Structure 1
């Protein structure tokens, strides 16, 4: 009862019958085996979007649309993942659904004029590692192979440029969301 059909030269849809009660991890394992098979046996790089499991055929279109949204959001926010589930998009789904005018207004409010553009790649990399290490200065400095004071200096420099102290949880959240919004706007979504 599975169906496979092409919707374009590069896009194929698999409608897979699954047992009731199958959990999200099992769905992702199945998707992973499909990606691995396509890659290993056919040398095809595949990305899989997973919609919400449905009970009735009438809900198929909504699940398909969710899988499409998962792939679009994945392209914008997490380009490394091969499997993106609609149920695990988190804040990225929220940002993706915001009007671009609201996003631009948010960025203007959060950042001083041009301050986010003034951050170089090294600084953005430092910020990314700082977030990955849960705002821990010592862990981040070890991971970056820099002295702790060097990292503190960089964080102070970011604070002067943006007005946000990334060592403060509330400021870190605002900055993280702002970076995601900037990434979303850089993907040139439809203006509205």
Structure 2
């Protein structure tokens, strides 16, 4: 049918892909089998003809909007429906998964606010009314955890919702990408379930909690007897030690984050070492204590 339209409208053009960079001033229509596009010069269409073509094929607005919708659908099909790779540049992409909890969520308002924090060419795919992912490349500024904490705080204050993000890894676009993204989605849901106070999740943050939750009972009991009593006696000790470990044993930074004097921090660390016999400066000791912190929180 499109070939017949070509003969009827001089200047009309066909395209096998969404018309991202084609000449403006055209009305674009998609074939019924969705494998071909036709652009007809607007000046060649009367109002009645435009209404008829819209009824037959639908109207798709401006080329940029067409291309954006096509990209989102292509990525969705690739990641979740065994579709073909949607990008030809093969540059690695990172999936930022998000989930919102709240009663007043409006996707039409939320998406522009979300995109405002990312590069202009980022792609947002909604997987439900309150969840989805942002696809970004590694060609510009890469947002870190602090940036996402700021984003979460902004969205929560503006929309009165709870906001959760999972920061995936940059992955090559190949047949393994879909499976790895689904693994990241599983880690995201595990993180939300186990680490209820967190808002920003990564594999490195979720893994110790997952390891603690799946620990055999005999190891759990032994660790409980060795370390957890001091946390039960002094609840502030848990938070102090965990923040100290998470900040790479940096006393100044830890004291600043805890709003305590450095001497107070050192007193608590020394007291912990005296009572448990474990030095936090020892790598193996630090790992053991860190897992114990998660185990105590989970229990």
Please classify the TM superposition score into its range, dividing by the shorter chain length.
0.5 to 0.7
Say which is worse superposed, 28-37 or 93-102, in terms of deviation: 28-37
2: CA distance between counterparts of 1:180 and 1:173? 11
Asked if structure 2 preserves the Cα contact closer than 8 Å seen for 1:159 and 1:165, the reply is: yes
Higher Rg of the two aligned structures: 2
Q: Which is helix-richer, 1 or 2?
A: 1
Q: Please report how far the alpha carbon of residue 116 of structure 1 lies from its aligned counterpart in structure 2 after TM superposition.
A: 4.6
Matched with 2:131 is 12
The residue aligned with 1:70 is 188
TM-score, reference length from structure 1? 0.57
Higher strand share: 2
Aligned mate of 1:48, from 145, 149, 165 = 165
Unaligned 5+ residue runs, structure 2?
1-70, 73-124
Q: Give a deviation string over 1:86-105, Cα, whole Å, max 9, x none.
A: xx422632551567242x43
Task: Give the ranges of 4+ consecutive aligned residues of structure 1 lying more than 6 Å apart after TM superposition.
Answer: 27-34
What is residue 144 of structure 1 aligned with on the other side?
260
Q: Secondary structure at the match of 1:165?
A: coil
**What's the TM-score once normalised by structure 2's chain length?**
0.41
Q: Please give the secondary structure, in 2, of the residue aligned with 1:47.
A: strand
Gaps of 5+ in 1: 187-192
Any residues of structure 2 matched to 1:29-108 within 5 Å, and which? 38-39=155-156, 42-51=159-168, 53=171, 55=173, 60=178, 62-73=180-191, 76-77=194-195, 79-81=197-199, 83-84=200-201, 88-90=202-204, 92-93=206-207, 95-96=209-210, 100-102=214-216, 104-108=217-221
Higher relative contact order (CA 8 A, sep 6+): 1
CA–CA separation in structure 2 for the residues paired with 1:46 and 1:145: 32
Q: How many residues align?
A: 173
2:207 is the alignment partner of 1:131: no
Q: How many Å separate the matches in 1 of 2:153 and 2:231?
A: 38
1:136 positional shift: 5.3
Flag the 1:43–1:156 CA change in 2: closer, same or farther, 3 A. closer
